Amino acid sequence: MDSTDAQRALASADAAAASVRGKGSLPAAGLVLLGIAETVLILLFGAPLIVHGGSAGMILVIAPLIILTVVSASRSVVPRHHHSLYAILTGIGVTITVVTMTFGRGFFPESWAWWIAGAVLAGVPFYVAAWIEYSRRVRS
């Protein structure tokens, strides 16, 4: 193999890597909407508002996180480190949601500050994921 062949091989390797790197992005807008849905659902089924759906409410509150897990795990191309990244983000989201709902119902059922803070925080993992997907798309 001479220098020209080596250059050609390097160029083809770079091209292959670049073309696959651009694939597998999730829509950032969809992730933001899921984050908003998470916030609204926590306020709806937790805050001293309105509905107290019992365990059905709890399942509905978790639904955006389940959707995030399923969508991120079933995409055709998983970008580098995104398996771990989404596992961490989903884990943080589940923890915030469960803590907000469980402690909120038990100790702060009438505290708007608790529910609003918890609901907003529960949306953050979705917004982080949206930002990561958006910046990936801009870079590629």
- Region 54-83 residues binding other proteins, contact defined as CB under 8 A: 74, 76-83
Distance between CA 123 and CA 102 in Å, rounded? 17
- In the complex, what is the shortest distance from the CB of residue 71 to other proteins, in angstroms, rounded to a whole number? 11
Distance between CA 41 and CA 20 in Å, rounded? 36
- In the complex, what is the shortest distance from the CB of residue 11 to other proteins, in angstroms, rounded to a whole number? 10
**Is residue 12 a contact residue for other proteins (CB under 8 A)?**
yes
Measured from the CB atom, the residue of 52 and 80 that comes closer to other proteins is: 80
**Is residue 135 a contact residue for other proteins (CB under 8 A)?**
no
- Number of residues in contact with other proteins, rule: CB under 8 A? 27
SS3 state of residue 2: coil
**Is residue 7 a contact residue for other proteins (CB under 8 A)?**
yes
Of 123, 140, 135, 139, whose CA–CA distance to 28 is shortest? Answer: 135
Question: What would the two tokens of residue 64 be?
Answer: 């955006």
